[in-house]
Chains A and B, each alone.
Chain A
């Protein structure tokens, strides 16, 4: 792919091809989520759904939001926010999983 060759460039331009590819991938992942919701996976359902959602958001963040090509400070910001989000998930599950 074109963007792999020039990652660190400031004014990076992602080709239409890539954008469309990512868009198709997002739609595909959405349909997988919907399909899986219909299959009973027991306690794994939620984790599978969250896993797919995580892949989708990383695609959007990296490509559509240009984080992959931007300065490192933005990655730091993002990692801090992402870390906060994960902690929030874990804490919420401390309620959900142990509820009597």
Chain B
């Protein structure tokens, strides 16, 4: 690979943009993938904060039985909005749109993505979708109250503003499809000389597999949403048995997208883990090909398990058995990854810096999330646990404990590359420890409550749940404090933090071979790839790394 060219006194992408405009317009009209990645970071981060605040408000309502701070109908609207924001505005675009945009071209040794203008358009479509969600909140009829799954028949009958809100999800889908299309083309067409498919970093592999899901699965949610709108406006009867329709068809269509979508959420996170572990264990990744191929396997098998969300909906028994079996099969490629990560650390010389510690938090929380998924994937236990807090605990462990944690790990890992500044290592570690405690206090009681029969999406509860609900609410406060520490640490570093070294962690993938922050077109000279992606012997040749 190129030899970690020490920064020549050249302009960074902050100082030199793609358009001649200065200031805010220089960003809003920029087609530079790095600026677009940061635009996404701003937008996605802001929505995440809103989502967290809504979560904390819900927990406050649930601190004691009976009404505390809001009306039941408000609670319905709040959990729906929390779900919609977290899913469609935070976790689906999160890692691909922010870190994928910023790092895919860098890791491939390319100047930009294949279609830079389309890339900017995707961001605008995302923003338009987000604005539509906001408008739907204030229009007459009131905010959406269906839950983030928009199940019929309720979503067709409720007086709330369903059509506009779900149309917003339709629009957001286009942003996702275009980003996917862009990434697939970039991977096929823009690799640096010498970079064969099996020399690509694993984050690229994961983003590539994700991009395929985005392109193939997202149109299905698009059509489904249009059908619900059609049903609301014209009463066609596609989902109405009285008119010859099939209500379960809605759930099929919804989950044919939304289950692969959970792999849109987790695959890029797994890619980030495969970057961070080798860097901090100073060892090449164990089972490179197995990890790369397991991403594709997850992307494909992930299509075949959607009906495990529907075991108690009236699905045929035959079908339920098939889907339960397939669900167990999809756990295999995820297991392959976990074992390979752990094997990579074995006998490594581990340097537990914040990104690595966040990854350890991930492995622990995600394993709990994944294994409780198997409890829900078994038919007998699911009948008992369906639509209880057990499910709420499970998906927070996989989505928040899994992808959310890695969003922070990625931020801590690539922060010096993106901003050229260094945050406080001490506070990042404190935040990781606090996050771990807060997370388990917030969500572990929900497993127990779910097992005891506490249904999800309920505004009130029986007195026997009071203690566990209280613990969970206290957990949500700790979580709020953790978030403040993280954001304060990162923003403080941006404004006042010390300049970071060029390659503070000793990374060897291509993004570490250019200066931090990178110049407009990423590399002073387009690199030629000669090493395997995680070959740490090249650190000696890299001029920008000084070990401490």
Per the 8 Å Cβ criterion, residues 63-100 of A in contact with B are: 73, 81, 84, 87-88, 91-92, 94-100
Given contacts A73-B188, A81-B216, A84-B216, contact A94 B303 (CB under 8 A): no
Count how many chain A residues have C-beta atoms less than 8 Å from C-beta atoms of the other chain. Answer: 14
Contact A84 B300 (CB under 8 A): yes
Which of A92, A95, A96 has the most C-beta atoms of chain B within 10 angstroms of its own C-beta?
A95
A94 to B305, CA, bound (A): 13
Does chain A have a CB within 8 A of B351? no
Q: Taking CB as reference atom, which chain A residue is nearest B215? A: A81
Inter-chain residue pair count (beta carbon < 8 A): 40
Q: Are B316's CB and A94's CB within 8 A?
A: yes
> Which residues in B have their C-beta under 8 angstroms from that of A100?
316-317
Contacts of B319 in A (CB 8 A): 91, 94-95, 98
Residue of A nearest to B315 (CB): A95
Is residue B156 contacting chain A, with contact meaning CB distance below 8 A? Answer: no
Complex interface residues of chain B between 393 and 426 (CB less than 8 A to chain A) = none
A100 CA / B316 CA spacing, docked (Å) = 7
Which residues of chain A (10-45) have a CB below 8 Å from chain B?
none
Least CB distance, B493 to chain A, in whole angstroms: 42
Partner of A95, one of B252, B300, B303: B252
Contact among B216, B248, B307, B317 for A91, CB-based, below 8 A: B307
Does B304 belong to the interface (CB within 8 Å)?
yes
- Taking CB atoms and an 8 Å cut-off, the chain B residues in 244-302 that contact chain A are 246, 248, 252, 256, 300
Residues on A with C-beta less than 8 A from B317 are: 98, 100
The chain A residue with its CB closest to the CB of B323 is A91
Are B303 and A84 touching (Cβ within 8 A)?
yes
B322 within 8 A of A: yes
B20 within 8 A of partner (CB): no
Name B223-256 residues within 8 Å CB distance of A.
Answer: 246, 248, 252, 256
Q: Which residues of A contact B246 (CB under 8 A)?
A: 96
* B547 contacts partner chain A, Cβ-Cβ < 8 Å: no
Q: Across the interface, which residues of B come within 8 angstroms of A84, CB to CB?
A: 216, 300, 303
Q: Separation in Å of the B221 CB from the closest CB of chain A?
A: 13
Nearest Cβ on chain A to B181's Cβ, whole angstroms: 11
Q: Indicate with 1 or 0, residue by residue over B311-331, a CB within 8 angstroms of chain A CB atoms.
A: 000111111001100000000
Q: Within 8 Å CB of B300, what residues of A? A: 84
Once the chains bind, are A87 and B304 in contact (CB under 8 Å)? yes
Question: Is the CB–CB distance between A99 and B314 below 8 Å?
Answer: yes
Q: Which residue of B lies closest to A83 (CB)?
A: B300
**B54 CB, min distance to chain A CBs, angstroms:** 34
Is the CB–CB distance between A95 and B316 below 8 Å? yes
Residue positions of A touching B, CB distance < 8 A? 73, 81, 84, 87-88, 91-92, 94-100
Given contacts A92-B252, A95-B252, 20 further A-B contacts (CB under 8 A): A73-B188, A81-B216, A87-B303, A88-B256, A88-B304, A91-B304, A91-B319, A91-B322, A91-B323, A94-B316, A95-B248, A95-B307, A95-B315, A95-B316, A97-B316, A98-B316, A98-B318, A99-B315, A99-B316, A100-B317
